[in-house]
């Protein structure tokens, strides 16, 4: 399972997920994507998107 954390989600939360791969959007250079662009990109590569909104 691959999980994407949006920018507003505190990255240290990733340590609570033992098995899945957790990536922060900024690590992929996706910081400047609009919400719609982020959703389109995420659905191609991730099983779950975690956001603060």
The model's pTM is: 0.82
Which residues form the domain of 41?
Answer: 2-50
| Per-residue pLDDT reduced to its tens digit, 1-53 | 999 999 889 989 988 987 779 999 999 999 999 889 999 999 999 999 998 87
Question: Residue 5's pLDDT is what?
Answer: 94
Give 42's strand partners. Answer: none
Residues in contact with 47: Cβ distance below 8 Å, sequence separation at least 6, in sequence order? 1, 2, 3, 20
| Contact (CB, 8 A) for 1 and 19 | yes
Question: Residue 19's pLDDT is what?
Answer: 79
Question: Residue 25's pLDDT is what?
Answer: 94
Domain count along the chain:
1
Question: Residue 37's pLDDT is what?
Answer: 94
The DSSP letter of residue 32 is T
| Contact (CB, 8 A) for 50 and 14 | no
List the Cα angle 27/13/53 in 5-degree steps.
80
């Amino acid at each position: 399972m691959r999980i994407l954390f949006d920018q507003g989600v505190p990255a240290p939360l990733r340590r609570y997920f033992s098995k899945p791969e957790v990536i922060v959007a900024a690590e992929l250079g996706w910081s400047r994507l609009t919400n719609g662009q982020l959703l389109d990109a995420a659905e191609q590569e991730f099983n779950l998107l975690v956001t603060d909104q």
